[in-house]
Amino acid sequence: MTMLVLFHRIRHIFCICSCQCGSSDRVQQIQVKQEDTRVRTYRVISAIQPVNHIDQKQLFLMSLNFDPVFKYDRPIPFQLYKQQFSNPSDIYLHLAIKIINVVIRKHGSYEKYQGISMGQQLSRNRVKKIVKSYLQREGIDPNEIDLNLSENLISRASMSYSYGRPLLSIKMGHGTKENWLHGMLRHEIGTHYMRSLNNRWQPWSTNMSRADYQMKPCNPTEEGLAALHSILTNQHPHLFQVYCKLQP
């Protein structure tokens, strides 16, 4: 087995439990109008999570020649998934490669850079204290947002709504480190959530009114700002991950 094949197998099975959508990954939805005019909504994060990923991961770790076969409870039709996600942009990839090469020359390796830039490992209690402190600094009542800390999330962090309440979910584990957490809070709360709060007071607050103003979806621009916001105060604010996420 070549190293490239092994890399892609490892990436496939472990990304099931640790997807990064920029970091963060907010819940994405795909809406499809069916023949009977009903609209079916697919929640992407839920749809791509296999129901048997734990068993397949264990079998893979027992033998690296094992090809995992995943089963899904509510899969997205392949053609729809291909239509929505098959055209990634590489227009800024050359810049990302230049930056990562600078990072490696400066720090010796990407692993050393991660060790320096991500900060110390955090306990659950420490995560709760940092989140509470950040919300208070931003003028947000900590009781306004529910906090979900779990080892079983797909994305490292996400901001969503559960039963009408804002929910910040954070994946606990090896990657839950202090500098990363501060950047994630600036991304999810300081950008996405604060923008959504401000949006409620605007004349374009609904999809219909946005169409009246001929406004495009806010997410592409907002995601770029959130990605920048997450690293600008870091001691080592290298932009290679940001350039990988930007689109023209």
Residues acting as catalytic residues: 188
> In angstroms, what CA-CA distances link 126 with 29, 133, 147, 190?
32, 11, 13, 20
The H or E element containing residue 219 is helix 219-229
Residue 195: Cβ within 10 Å count: 14
| Two structure tokens written together for 181 | 């957490």
**Which residue has 């892609």 as its token pair?**
8
CB under 8 Å to 207, separation ≥6 — which residues? none
> In angstroms, what CA-CA distances link 218 with 152, 205, 213?
30, 11, 13
Spatial CA neighbour of 146 closest among 128, 126, 121: 128
**70/76 Cα distance (integer angstroms):** 13
- In terms of DSSP H, where are the helices of 38-172? 44-47, 53-62, 78-85, 93-107, 110-117, 124-137
Beta-strand runs (E) in 9-81: 19-24, 29-33, 39-43
**221/122 Cα distance (integer angstroms):** 31
Using DSSP, state whether 83 is helix, strand or coil: helix
